[in-house]
Chains A and B, each alone.
Chain A
Amino acid sequence: MKKECVAMLLAGGQGSRLYVLTANVAKPAVPFGGKYRLIDFPLSNCVNSGIDTVGVLTQYQPHELNAYIGTGQPWDLDRLDGGAHVLPPYMTNRGSEWYKGSANAVYQNIGFIEQYNPEYVLVLGGDHIYRMDYSLMLDHHKETGADCTISVIDVSYEEAKSFGIMNVNPDGTIYEFEEKPKNPKSTLASMGIYVFSWEKLKRHLILDEADPKSVNDFGKNIISNMLAAGEKMVAYRFSGYWKDVGTIDSLWDANMDMLLSDEIDLFTPAWRIYARNPASPPHYVGDNAVVSHSLVTEGCEVYGHVCNSVLFNDVTVDQGAFVEYSIIMPGAVIGRGAVVKYAIIAEGARIESGATIGAPPGDYADEPDRWGIAVVAAGVTIGPGRIVNAKQMADRDEL
């Protein structure tokens, strides 16, 4: 059946700058904000914007992501017609190849898109935290008669040097795209959210595929080529919370932002972020527990101190333990008297009694370069009394 707009979600990235956190899972499956995985944000945005057909392009460590998406039911994307589809690379009678780049991933799934005969295709990344009504962007695309609309956000001049920057005419059309410019001419950063008129995108995907020098990337190749070919490219200004969570620091930062309702209000019923539910019981806060400026969810048992932190489901914080400015992912256990500060403790890790993880930046005032968020990888046990220093990444047991 015909769909006006199909979304293609690029979820194949390794997320190598998240190091041990993405050793065994694709980046979009990284836990975020107490109840979510990164991919819940674009998926929920799609559903809340009225887009019911989403192709999820996977390649790197897909098992957990595939299981998480399942039939798409938690996002109401289990549809008779359309819905969520996981799209890994596949074989044809001409052989098979991995997705060479984001543009190639969509190119290889032209057949999937054509099943729905869409007018427009929305291309999204799976690693940003934001709430956005894509239908308004689509309206803008139609009103301006654009071939491609790129969502942009105003960043500071300094930040602009690390983004893909759109240089825009007064009427909102884009005349130039610069990747990480040394001297930015504008501060409008691409958010990696594109609406294309499908016929135009299809033509450029085919041209790009035929070019042996291309790295088959949306930003580097498709957008530049469309500009060069004189297609109508329009910037769509977004204002609101938007955060890239590509690094340990930005992931930690964005989680901390969830504690402030003025950043992104997760409690708004009108634009819920949906997630797969773990079916855990309500959480328990014990007699001597102190919980302050923190998010706590189902299955947690808190007997110690938790301040300025985000606890995911089924986390235990034992008597006398101190958790501050930290992110504790599902099923992790913080033992008796353990101290966890400025740290990310990944799924199922065990911090045993009296262990110390991370340190506040103040402890490194003399040598700030040595400070950073401490990370304990999934399933790792840190034995009694052991120490994981600030900025250290523990990816094997220390007993």
Chain B
Amino acid sequence: MNDMHGILFAYSSNFRLKELTEHRTASSLPFGARYRVIDFMLSNMVNAGITDVGVIMRENYQSLLDHLGSGRDWDLSRKRGGLRILPPFAYALTTDNKRVSRDASPYRGKLEALQAVGAYLDHIKQEYIVLADGDLIVNLPLEEIFEQHLASGADITCVCSSKRGDGLDAEASYARLGTRGRITEVLIGAMEEGIFPLLGVYILSKKKLTDLMAENSQHHNGVHFTRDILQRMQPHLRLMSYVYDGFSTRLRSVSDYFEQSMNLLKPGVRSDLFYRGRPIKTKVRDDASTYYAPESRVKHCVVADGCVIRGSLENCVVFRGVRIDEGAVLKNCIFMQDTRIEKSVELSYAITDKEVCIREGRSLKGHEVHPIAFSKGSVV
């Protein structure tokens, strides 16, 4: 048992995900043949013994709500605590608690989002809080990170990736590390080498969080956690890093989605992400096993349950309930839940969203950096 409470920020405006986020947020994007992106952080928390998780939402969250349900599939349907869904109110509060007009967009940053759920924060009974993004794909040893947090006497422990970034991603934030993992500088979208990308996973005490929020609203009225807390207050804080060297990713564009899905074909990525001691849980669908017909040819593919495969597949990620008919030749594709590929279809570098149907004999080719994406329910 430990004394942590989880808060997930399950929103992000990744407009470059285009077709894939037409009907959902990045957190509820299907990923890895049977998961939604949020399953990873949610399972990380549950696997660390966290029993109370709040999920802050902002827009397009219907599919996320549908996926999470009561939280039962993560064992978070609890009488006391469990999953707490935090959708936005029709208005936002400014950080000095004055109501702004009704048509104002709700929270612009994490700090503002936390401010908007102040009443919920007040009622958290655990001493420590883990803040994380719902769109981070990783299998973290959160319990170990928590132990390090306690041992290091950090004000905030920030999880970094060991894959040293080049600082070229304008949306990402980075940490420069001093001795013994102390963070000496926090950078945002910096053009520098040798800095460690921040994964957006933070552990801090509830008291520290509320103190920092109060200080922020008194002096700066900042809205972003990274910029207005970590970066601005870094000189006054003991910021420690935990450097994780396994696989982690975020999906920021359609080509990102394609590339990271294909990464799942690598054994090292699968063993990092699906480490058996910390299983990733998801909504159970009760499909039968996948059936491979005698005429099927399948090579180097990751496949979920409930599929009937009669065609040829190579380098594909196949979600639950996909049907692939005879004579189809499919290479480097991602087929989401209940996709239907009819006879003799030829596809390469394609992503089909849920319930897409590709009719008999169609032939379509995308390119590695520009995969074709078919939006949910479309018929070709």
Contacts and interface: CB of A to CB of B under 8 A. Distances in A.
B286 A274 contact: yes
Contact of A283 (B72, B273, B279, B302): B302
B286 A282 contact: no
A298 interface: yes
Chain A interface residue number, banded: 35 or more
Interface string A100-132: 000000000000000000000000000000000
A275 B284 CA distance: 10
Given A285-B301, A292-B296, A298-B305, A35 B289 contact: yes
A287 interface: yes
Contacts of B300: 285-287
A267 B306 contact: yes
Contact of B294 (A266, A282, A293, A295): A293
A24 interface: no
Of B279, B291, B300, most A-chain CB atoms within 10 Å: B291
A62 interface: no
A144 B288 CA distance: 37
Given A266-B288, A296-B290, A291 B305 contact: no
A283 B292 contact: no
A358 to B, nearest CB: 21
A224 interface: no
Nearest to A44: B286
A277 B286 CA distance: 8
A328 to B, nearest CB: 12
Contact of A291 (B279, B298, B304, B306): B298
B224 interface: no
Interface string B257-289: 000000001010010011000011110101111
B304 A298 contact: yes
Interface in B131-177: none
Interface in A176-229: none
A298 B286 CA distance: 12
A34 interface: yes
Contacts of A284: 265, 267, 270, 301-303
Contacts of A274: 286
Contacts of A279: 279-282
Interface in A253-288: 259, 261, 266-267, 272-275, 277, 279-288
B290 A281 contact: no
B293 interface: yes
A294 interface: yes
B33 interface: yes
A280 B306 CA distance: 14
Contacts of A283: 290, 302-304
A281 B292 contact: no
B279 A282 contact: no
Contacts of B317: 282
A295 B303 contact: no
Interface in B326-348: none
Interface in A71-102: 73-74
Given A283-B304, A293-B292, 6 more contacts: A33-B289, A282-B33, A282-B34, A291-B298, A292-B296, A298-B304
30 contacts: A33-B288, A33-B289, A261-B291, A267-B308, A279-B279, A279-B282, A281-B34, A281-B274, A282-B34, A282-B303, A282-B317, A282-B318, A283-B290, A284-B267, A284-B301, A284-B302, A285-B298, A285-B299, A285-B301, A285-B303, A286-B300, A289-B299, A292-B292, A292-B294, A292-B296, A294-B291, A295-B288, A295-B291, A295-B292, A310-B289
Interface of B: 32-34, 72, 265, 267, 270, 273-274, 279-282, 284, 286-294, 296, 298-306, 308, 317-318
